[in-house]
């Protein structure tokens, strides 16, 4: 029982601090919360968590195979850049539009759960993040091929990510209300963050400092502390 709680704690802690780094999913959840309310934002978050848990469950039993899928990750990385660029443009359009204007992508009629699941599915950042941490947990004997370990780990990941997203969802809305900031100003700031994120992602891909390189390094380099992660998941 103590070992199961420990792997649950590790999953929750790593996931929480990794999700607290400003990234596409967290910002999207916050923007949905501001424009539509906390319920759609929570649905979006849960969808992204389901996608993340599926990723982690697969990589726990296919570590070596995933390291060899370079072409797939390249495609996913460029799709992720495209999505972030669309989010940035949509935020700028909303910032220059009417008071009820929304981000073009996030205002899609797709249910927020499926939108969150879809955005997580084409975002490769979570895979090398959890691939590295899973390798470390296995090497330290914390993760084991025993009954209940995978379930405890995945539950911890889900709870940690939900807790981090809740800070974006509720905290972001509270800050906006306290500062009495306009919808347009918030959309502009979020658009700038998305634009910077897209530029950084392109730079990493061109300089070969992207997820593919991280995959190749997971066997020899221990991932950073969850308190100081190098990139959001």
Q: What does each of the 233 residues of the chain score in pLDDT, given as a tens digit?
A: 778 899 999 999 999 998 887 778 888 898 888 888 889 999 999 999 999 998 888 877 766 666 666 676 677 778 778 878 887 887 788 777 654 555 545 555 778 899 899 888 877 667 777 877 887 888 788 888 777 888 999 999 999 999 999 999 998 778 777 766 666 777 787 788 888 888 887 887 777 655 555 555 555 444 444 433 445 55
Neighbouring residues of 114: CB distance < 8 A, sequence distance ≥ 6: 47
Cα distance between residue 43 and residue 113, in whole Å: 5
The residue assigned the tokens 């390189």 is 213
* CA-based nearest residue to 160, from 226, 85, 100, 62: 226
Whole-angstrom distance, CA of residue 101 vs CA of residue 151 = 42
Question: DSSP assignment, residue 171?
Answer: I
Q: What pTM value is reported for the model?
A: 0.72
- Closest among 8, 23, 27 to 150, alpha carbons compared: 8
Picking from 115, 7, 111, 110, the residue whose alpha carbon sits closest to that of residue 51 is: 115
CA separation for the pair 140, 112 (Å, rounded) = 38
Query: What is the CB neighbour count within 10 angstroms for residue 102?
Result: 21
Among residues 199, 181, 33, the alpha carbon closest in space to that of 102 is found at: 33
226 near 17, Cβ under 8 Å?
Answer: yes
Contact 168, 26 (CB under 8 A): yes
């Amino acid at each position: 029982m103590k070992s199961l709680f420990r792997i649950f704690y590790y999953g929750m802690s790593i996931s929480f601090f990794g999700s607290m780094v400003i990234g596409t999913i967290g910002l999207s959840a916050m923007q949905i919360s501001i424009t539509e309310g906390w319920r759609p934002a929570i649905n979006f978050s849960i969808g992204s968590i389901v996608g993340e848990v599926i990723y982690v469950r697969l990589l726990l039993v296919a570590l070596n195979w995933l390291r060899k899928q370079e072409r797939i990750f390249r495609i996913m990385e460029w799709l992720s850049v495209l999505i972030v660029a669309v989010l940035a443009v949509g935020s700028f359009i909303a910032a220059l539009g009417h008071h009820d204007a929304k981000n073009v992508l996030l205002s899609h009629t797709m249910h927020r759960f499926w939108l969150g699941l879809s955005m997580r599915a084409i975002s490769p950042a979570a895979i090398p993040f959890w691939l590295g941490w899973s390798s470390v947990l296995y090497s330290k004997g914390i993760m084991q091929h025993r009954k209940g370990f995978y379930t405890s780990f995945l539950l911890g990941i889900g709870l940690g990510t939900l807790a981090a997203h809740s800070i974006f969802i509720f905290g972001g809305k509270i800050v906006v209300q306290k500062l009495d900031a306009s919808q347009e100003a918030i959309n502009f700031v979020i658009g700038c963050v998305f634009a910077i994120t897209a530029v950084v992602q392109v730079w990493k891909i061109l300089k070969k400092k992207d997820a593919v390189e991280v995959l190749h390094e997971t066997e020899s380099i221990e991932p950073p502390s969850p308190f100081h992660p190098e990139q959001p998941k």
